[in-house]
Amino acid sequence: MKSIKHKLLGVFLIIVLLITALCVYNFKSVVKFNHDTNAIIKEDLPLLIADEELAFNIAERIALARGYILYNDPSYKEAFLQYTEESKELQDQVLQETNSEEAKQLIDKSIEWRKTITEEVFVEFDKGNKEQALAIMANKVQPLGRDLMTGFKEIADKRKNIILNEGNDVMETGTSIKNASLMMSIIIIIVAIILAIVTARVISTPIKKVVDRMLQIADGNLQSTNLVTKAKDETAQLIEATNTMNSNLKNVITNIINASDNVKEQSKGLSASANEVKEGSLQIAITMEALASGSQEQAQNCANLSETLSDFIEKIKLSNEEGIQVRTLTEKVKTATISGNKLMSISESNMHNIEDLVEESVTKVKELDQKTAKINDIISVITSISEQTNLLALNAAIEAARAGEHGKGFAVVADEVRKLAEEVKFSVNDITSIVNDVQLESAEVASSLEFGYKTILNGTSQIKETAKTFNLIAELIENMSTKVGFISNELESFVDKGQILNMSVASIASVSEESAAGVEETTASTEEIATLMEQILASAQMLADQSEQLNNITKKFTV
């Protein structure tokens, strides 16, 4: 017998196999797609970049070589050598990643071009033959360099076209993968829908027959013929069980009808006895007076309990109001703590700003000290010049004295120069004194600023610790507020429940008072009920026999 489980598993297995085939196809396609993409990124693209960088490198080296020859600046030569090392690395990269003869030839030419510059142009220039070096640059280096740049750009353009073609191939491959995956997905969906419809119809048709038969049974129709099916799975077992249940239920209903007729006859005698019990119940009221007094006492106790509960509830209300006040104060403390925390954050930010300003001031004072030291050096030079000027003025005066009348004018000039040199010397001494004072003051300022910087660092650290303390206080207050709120809510709930309990106690007192009369009336009839109970027991025994018969019939079913 092929079960529903096996049918469903078979359908799911077919769908899983189709989905697995789609996944395998997609996986292989993605692997090929990734391989082609990696080939472009890791092989072709680095070569394209290297070719373009080689062309740019040659242009830069031509400019640096001309700059070195024209301006005689060694930095141009150093930059040329750095670009030369970069070109060697790029050439090694190209040779490792390609077997192109054209690229190898260009690299060989670039090596010869480089040797022409280093062994001819630079050598002639270092010998002092600037014109010869420029001629070599114009006649050999620049034309060959342009050829090399053109060659590397052509290789780069070819490689760019190759990358574009490979990229187009990859895009076409991706499009074909997408279309194939879409087609296979549509096929899988169609197959899954067909299998689901067929499987659902195979399973639902017998079940629908059973549902229709159950509805007929629920309507009371037990005369239908047995259901027939060609299936050999659980639905066939369900139909057979339905047919069996229909037959058994028909027999049970027939037996119950017969038994109910007998019970009907016996119930007549029980009804007569019930009438006598009803008459006797009127006399029970007389014998229940003793219980009435107890009920009245119970009502009084309930009233006292209600008053006690009322007082207790009032005290709980007062406690709840105080708890609400505590919660309000806690919220205010929490708000103040948050404000303090924000102020501490602002203070910490301001301290950081002051710290940065003081640190910058220390740096500037140190720079001022260095510059005043340079001023001292300049003053020393000026002092030396003034001394030499004074000496020259003295020599000029001597020579003017030797010249006699012809040297008087020169002597006057020499004397003025000497006076000017002495004034410069005095001014330099004053400036030296002022600069020394500035250095001393700047040193003291730097020391004060460094001390202030350290003090600010300590203050910043203390502010951070204070901020942490505020955060801890805020957390503790938050927890306390939550707990106070919880206690307040519990007290409110307790007040509500206490009021309900108070109302219940009052209701009990009222009911106790009302039941007192009923208890008094019920007691009077108990003796007469005892006599009538013998007759009721006889009738009840007969009903018990009938119910046993019904019980034996219904044992065919499990409830």
* SS3 annotation, 471-518: HHHHHHHHHHHHHHHHHHHHHHHHHHHHHHHHHHHHHHHHHHHHHHHH
CB atoms within 10 A of CB 369: 17
Closest by CA position to 134, among listed 57, 62, 56, 55: 62
Q: CA distances (Å), 287 to each of 16, 275, 426, in order?
A: 84, 20, 142
227-232 contacts at long range (C-beta below 8 A, 24 or more positions apart): 231/202, 231/206, 232/1, 232/2
**Beta-bridge partners for 284:** 524
173's tokens: 């491959």
Selected residue with higher pLDDT from 28 and 499: 28
Residue type, 47: L
Is 3 within 8 Å of 233 (Cβ atoms)? yes
Burial 91-118 (b: 16+ CB within 10 A, else e): bebbeeebebeebeebbeebeebbebbe
Indicate whether 417 pLDDT > 80: no
By CB atoms closer than 10 A (0-12, 13-18, 19+), residue 136 is: buried
The rounded distance, in Å, linking the Cα atoms of 535 and 550 is 23
Task: Find the largest Cα–Cα distance for the chain.
Answer: 181
Selected residue with higher pLDDT from 401 and 504: 401
Dihedral, CA of residue 418, residue 420, residue 426 and residue 427, to nearest 10: -160
The pLDDT value recorded for residue 84 is 92
Q: CA distances (Å), 382 to each of 386, 395, 423, in order?
A: 6, 20, 12
Q: Which of 166-180, 182-196, 242-256, 466-480 has the highest mean pLDDT?
A: 182-196
The number of angstroms, rounded, from the C-alpha of 206 to the middle of its chain's C-alpha atoms is 53
The rounded distance, in Å, linking the Cα atoms of 191 and 15 is 8
| All residues at 6 or more sequence positions from 273 whose CB lies less than 8 Å from its CB, including other chains | 532, 535, 536, 539
Q: Which of 17-31, 111-125, 383-397 has the highest mean pLDDT?
A: 111-125
Return left, alpha or beta for 537; rule: phi > 0 is left, psi -120 to 50 is alpha, else beta: alpha
Closest by CA position to 529, among listed 289, 281, 270: 281
232's tokens: 């050999």
The rounded distance, in Å, linking the Cα atoms of 368 and 377 is 14
Indicate whether 204 pLDDT > 70: yes
Indicate whether 324 pLDDT > 70: yes
Band of the pLDDT at 423, cuts 50, 70, 90?
A: confident
Closest by CA position to 112, among listed 145, 63, 78, 79: 145
Band of the pLDDT at 433, cuts 50, 70, 90?
A: confident
Tell me the helix, strand and coil percentages in the chain, rounded to 5: 95, 0, 5
**What is the rounded average pLDDT of the residues 466-477?**
70
Band of the pLDDT at 444, cuts 50, 70, 90?
A: confident
The pLDDT value recorded for residue 184 is 86
Indicate whether 75 pLDDT > 90: yes
The rounded distance, in Å, linking the Cα atoms of 253 and 422 is 147
Query: Helix 101-116 to helix 45-71 angle, to the nearest 10 degrees?
Result: 10
The pLDDT value recorded for residue 340 is 65
The model's pLDDT over 503-544, given as tens digits with 9 standing for 90+, comes to 765 776 676 567 656 656 666 665 666 566 566 666 656 766
22's tokens: 């789609």
Indicate whether 77 pLDDT > 80: yes
Closest by CA position to 18, among listed 209, 184, 213: 184
The pLDDT value recorded for residue 186 is 93
The pLDDT value recorded for residue 435 is 67
**What is the rounded average pLDDT of the residues 269-278?**
58
| All residues at 6 or more sequence positions from 472 whose CB lies less than 8 Å from its CB, including other chains | none
Tell the residue number behind the tokens 């004074």, with chain if given.
390
Q: DSSP code of 119?
A: I
* Range of lowest pLDDT (94-98, 181-185, 480-484, 536-540): 536-540
The pLDDT value recorded for residue 362 is 67
Indicate whether 351 pLDDT > 90: no
308's tokens: 């006690």
Is 353 within 8 Å of 472 (Cβ atoms)? no
What is the three-class DSSP state of 152? helix
**Beta-bridge partners for 524:** 284
Is 161 within 8 Å of 49 (Cβ atoms)? no
Q: How close are the terminal C-alpha atoms of the chain, in Å?
A: 30
Instruction: Give the DSSP letter string of 54-99.
Output: HHHHHHHHHHHHHHHHHH--HHHHHHHHHHHHHHHHHHHHHHHH--
The model's pLDDT over 131-183, given as tens digits with 9 standing for 90+, comes to 999 999 999 999 999 999 999 899 888 888 888 888 788 788 878 888 888 89
Selected residue with higher pLDDT from 159 and 272: 159
The rounded distance, in Å, linking the Cα atoms of 296 and 219 is 56
Q: CA distances (Å), 180 to each of 14, 29, 46, 87, 233, in order?
A: 20, 10, 33, 47, 39
The number of angstroms, rounded, from the C-alpha of 33 to the middle of its chain's C-alpha atoms is 32
Sign for the pseudo-dihedral over CA of 62, 65, 66, 71:
positive
Is 424 within 8 Å of 386 (Cβ atoms)? yes
Is 49 within 8 Å of 98 (Cβ atoms)? no
Q: What is the mean pLDDT of the chain?
A: 76
